[in-house]
Structure 1
Amino acid sequence: MILASIYYSLVKSLIDEIYDQEFLAVSLQKKQIKMETSSLISHIHFLSQEQHLGLLIKDGQINSQIRKEITNRFLNFSQTSTFYDQIRFIQNSGREIIRIDFKNGRSEVVDDNSLQNKKSRYYFKAVSGLQKNQIFVSQLDLKIENGKVERPYKPMVRLGMPVFGDENQRIGMVVVNYLANRFLTVLTETSQINPGEIMLLNGKSYWLKSKNPDDEWGFMFEDKKNRTFANKFPNEWKEISEKQEDQFETDNGLFTFYTINPFFLKNEKQLVQIMNPGDKYWKILSHVPMNYIRSEKISLLYSFLPVFFLLVFLLILGTLIITNISIQKSKKDWELETANQQLENKVSERTKQLSEINKDLAKEIVKHKKTEKKLQKKTNELERSNKELEEFAYIASHDLQEPLRKISSFSKLLEKRSIESLDEEGQKYLEFITSSVARMRTLISELLKYSKVSSSKINFDSVDLNDVIKAVLDDLGMVIKESNTQINFNNLPEIKADKTQMIQLMGNLVSNAIKYYEPGRNGGPKISINAKEEPNQWLVSVQDNGIGIDQSHYEKIFVIFQRLHGRNDFSGTGIGLGVCKKIVERHGGKIWVDSEKDKGSTFYFTIKN
């Protein structure tokens, strides 16, 4: 009963962890999508309020100078954002006046002969009926050209806003086509690190994003009209469609969902108003199949069986010991009964001693069991904590990317459009913003590298260290040439390792040796790379003639974010050697340094042979 209780307690903890993980994944996707759709509203409002746009058409005549100016601004915005398929200004007659297309990674202005009349298109009719500061948002669907769905698929949302002249007369509209693959890709990335399948559904239960691409966009094709989530999971869809958010389990698995109104603005003081969006709401859903939950339970059972058999063995052993002692005691009693009465006191004392020994032995067995359980619990908690920490770093880093992109985009726009109007102090502040964003982006990139080193699968192959060093020399070629660095290596061994991580390891050590060299000393950096065969392993060394490291900092340098020098003295994030340590340890080795201040350093690491 006790063992069964322990096992079921572990199963409950496992299920609770899966539940919490799914809630976190869906919640993060809801936040990501909401941030993205909010930025779309900001962008269309920004473009529609573009300076001088109200002066583009007056008395039916187009001002060519202002048209050229607005075209350049739209082009700059398209090049900076890179996620709008088209940006257009359409006059009241339906004729395109300006159109910017984003193709093959480049933004280009469409010539006058290729401009079209969009009077018959549904979005033109919808925007034509709007008042000032009202925005039209279409449903999320696929781009159609010449009556057919364009391939490869281009998921997009169309947004439009009317434009009024300086005399408050309607002169046209701004319409943009947003490439929705931008946030749909994030759903795919989350599915790769999460046990559940992350999917996005519209209000009619059609898949907008699914693990199976054939299920997606059913409402766009006649032969897929019946391919809906509701048809595949009718009972589950009934519960999902009636609630805003929930988590429940059926015979088909675990379902976790949030309802998101992608273009609903809560703040009544907003400057704009969204009019009848094409999609009233989406459902962000994660589905963990029941087979996955069963397999996790079975894996837990297999890991629990050795503990079960060990406890049974100890119980049997204890029973045998006690039984044997009891038999010996009975024998002694029988012998003592036939012995001289004078020995009775000695026999009684001996029996008492044996009883004390039995009690102590029983106490030790109980103590051993408790210690073993505590140790197993601590081990499980530590493994779960490390995994959660790595996943948190990966997800948090991704969450930080979007605000940085926005800060970078708008600072570039500010620099292009207003740099001449800023005084010297304002330009200095703008430089501070740009450099800070670059440093933060580098830090996030390094943190992601560290997280990927910890979580990615290691592919052990035969790796020639000579080829690894050559790859590093190619990567650092410009730095090596500019710093006049001399690198010596020969006859390095072939080992079993992950080649990509070996290049990353040696690249970090070589680049550090170049970076931490005091210019003007000894004619330039000198780096020597050698390997020595030891029992069951290779000992690899990277020796330099740099500034050296004080012995008190030998351990500190391998901890991430720990720096011995200021950013103005030497560039970097303080993560490089932490990545090196993680790579070596995941290959079953260890890494250390031997150095003397102002006389250079030698980094050693071992790789199993």
Structure 2
Amino acid sequence: MSMLESEVTEAWAEQYETAFVTYCNTGSEEALIEAYAFAREGLAASMSLADFGCLHHAAFFKLLEQSGPGSNLYERALDFYLEGVSVFDMAIHGYQNNVARLKEEVTERRRIEEDLRAATFELSRQRSDLDIQVRQRTAELRERAEELEQSNRLLLQTNKETSEFSYALSHDLKSPINTIGMLLDAIREELPPDSESECADLVSDASLTAERMKRLIDDVLQYSQVVGDTLERELVDMNQLCHDALSDMRHAIDEAQADISCSHLPVVRGSAFQLAIMLRNFLSNALTYRDASRPLRVEISAGPTAETGRVLISIADNGIGMPPDCHARIFNLFTRLHTYSDFEGSGIGLALCKRVANNHNSDIEVESVEGQGTIFSFSLESEEVDTWH
């Protein structure tokens, strides 16, 4: 069954009439349902309510002409008509509801679109501001990087010149100091044996001063070598480094009657030259600042650190120790806590150790109790970290 716009086909009209007459005569529920079905099909085919009314009116009058009025005719005819009209009524109410919902949806969509346009505009503005800030910050960072690069070049050049100057000056001073020492030795040989004259005392004092000057020059030379040394990292066996240091310092160790133990140490990554200098200076420091009332004991050991890929190297002694307020300044260049008459030293050794530690991305930690001893600790890169965890 089909319908084109408002034109009802004759076949469709006949089917409606048949169902209408059947219901009016029998009151069959199935026939009544036909009215609802025909109305739905007509509505789907764009039938108007007026067309449906005309269709029903024609069928009603035709029935009256054939059978005349009956007691149930009007009531059933009305029921049949209302059953069909209910379809159009529901469609009209549904249309109204749909229109209201569509209006609400359109209003909400417009609001969302306005919010979206506003957000897009704000985002675009913020992006523009951010681009400007990024460009400004990038320019500032580039300028800062260039300044730092220039400062670094100047610093490297200054360090190099300072190292070369210190080396040249120290090297040139060694010759006259050695000459002064030789002259003083010659004068001493000319003095009468067992001489206790003022001249002999002056010669002795001068010799000691020349010896201190010679040691100071040697320390400055060593410091200048570390400052000017280009750090080339290599695998360094700390066990071998410790063994070599103890062998080189055997005379001083025996003279101090010191007991120095070295536990198993790792292979580390760094400068063998600089690490050897640092280890010798730590040992020399322990030998110098020992407590005369008890035998000196020094222990070199390795342990874990909180930092991944590094191990802790410690040098512990039972020497004279130091108060807490001295822990930081002992690493300053030419700083001494005691007079030369009490303890020999130039004040360069620990400053040199700190420089070496810094070159290896580390710092030196100090634990010391005055009268009990000192522990110096620093960390180094190592591939044997698991051994100490």
Greater fraction of residues in strand = 1
Partner of 1:446: 219
State how far apart, in whole Å, the 1-side matches of 2:364 and 2:123 are: 58
The answer (yes or no) to whether the contact 2:291–2:318 under 8 Å persists in 1 is no
AA aligned opposite 2:357: V
Report the CA distance between 1:351 and its aligned residue: 11
Higher gyration radius (CA):
2
**Distance (whole Å) between structure 2 residues aligned to residue 602 and residue 415 of structure 1:** 43
- Matching residue's letter, 2:184: S
Say which SS state the counterpart of residue 319 (structure 2) adopts: coil
CA distance in structure 1 between the aligned counterparts of 2:153 and 2:280, rounded to whole angstroms:
35
Whether 2:173 is the aligned partner of 1:400: answer yes
2: CA distance, partners of 1:381 / 1:452: 19
SS of equivalent to 1:569:
coil
Per the alignment, residue 64 of structure 2 pairs with none
Which of 358, 377, 386 does residue 585 from structure 1 map onto? 358
Shift of 1:514: 2.7
Residue in 2 that maps onto 1:436: 209
Establish whether residue 606 from structure 1 lines up as the match of residue 379 from structure 2.
yes
Once the two structures are superposed, what CA deviation does each residue of 1:99-122 show, in whole Å capped at 9, x if it has no partner? xxxxxxxxxxxxxxxxxxxxxxxx
The Cα offsets for residues 339-368 of structure 1, whole Å up to 9 and x where unpaired, read as xxxxxxxxx999999998887666555544
Which residue number corresponds to residue 384 of structure 1?
A: 157
Distance (whole Å) between structure 2 residues aligned to residue 350 and residue 489 of structure 1: 66
CA contact (8 A) 1:537 1:608 kept: yes
Matched, 1:530 2:301: yes
> Residues 551 and 424 from structure 1, CA distance in 2 versus in 1: closer, same or farther, beyond 3 angstroms?
same
CA contact (8 A) 1:589 1:608 kept: no
Judged with a 3 Å threshold, the aligned counterparts in structure 2 of structure 1 residues 383 and 419 are, in CA distance, closer, same or farther, namely: farther
CA distance in 2, matches of 1:481, 1:418: 33
**2:265 maps to 1:492:** yes
User: Alpha carbons of 1:381 and 1:409: their partners in 2 closer, same or farther (altered >3 Å)?
Assistant: same
SS at match of 1:608: strand
State the 1:497 CA deviation: 4.0
Separation in 1 of the partners of 2:181 and 2:229?
30
Q: Does 1:514 align with 2:310?
A: no
Amino acid at match of 2:299: S
C-alpha deviation, 1:403, in angstroms: 2.5
Superposed, which structure 2 residues align to 1:560-579 within 5 Å?
560-579=333-352
Distance 2:334 2:167 in 1: 16
Deviation by residue 1:499-531 (Cα, 9 ceiling, x = unmatched):
44433322222232232122124xx11222211
RMSD, matched Cα? 3.5
Q: Compare relative contact order (CA 8 Å, sep 6+) and give the higher one, 1 or 2.
A: 2
Q: C-alpha offsets along residues 19-75 of structure 1, whole Å, 9 cap, x if unaligned?
A: xxxxxxxxxxxxxxxxxxxxxxxxxxxxxxxxxxxxxxxxxxxxxxxxxxxxxxxxx
* CA contact 1:541–1:604 (8 Å) conserved in 2: yes
* Pairs within 5 Å for 1:15-414: 364=137, 366-414=139-187
Residue 427 of structure 1 pairs with residue 212 of structure 2? no
Report the alpha carbon displacement of residue 470 of structure 1 after superposing the two structures with TM.
2.5
Classify 1:442/1:370 alpha carbon distance in 2 versus 1 (closer, same or farther; 3 Å).
Answer: same
> 5+ residue gaps in structure 2?
1-120, 383-389
Normalised by the length of structure 2, the TM-score is 0.58
The aligned length equals 264
The 3-state SS of whatever aligns with 1:606 is strand
Question: Gaps spanning 5+ residues in structure 1: where?
Answer: 1-347
- Residue-by-residue CA offset, 1:161-194 (whole Å, 9 max, x unaligned): xxxxxxxxxxxxxxxxxxxxxxxxxxxxxxxxxx
SS at match of 1:390: helix
Deviation readout 1:532-581 (Å, 9 max, x if unpaired): 24420111111111111222222211222111111111111111112222
| Secondary structure of 1:601 counterpart | strand
Secondary structure of the residue aligned to 1:565 is: coil
Instruction: Show CA shifts across 1:130-164 (max 9, x none).
Output: xxxxxxxxxxxxxxxxxxxxxxxxxxxxxxxxxxx
Query: Aligned residue for 2:49?
Result: none
1:479 aligns with 2:286: no
Instruction: Quote how far apart the aligned CAs of 1:449 are.
Output: 0.9
Partner of 1:539, secondary structure, is strand
Give the TM-score normalised by the residue count of structure 1: 0.39
Distance in 1 between residues matched to 2:166 and 2:198, nearest whole Å: 36
* Mapped partners of 1:366, 1:501: distance in 2: 40
User: What letter is aligned with 1:575?
Assistant: I
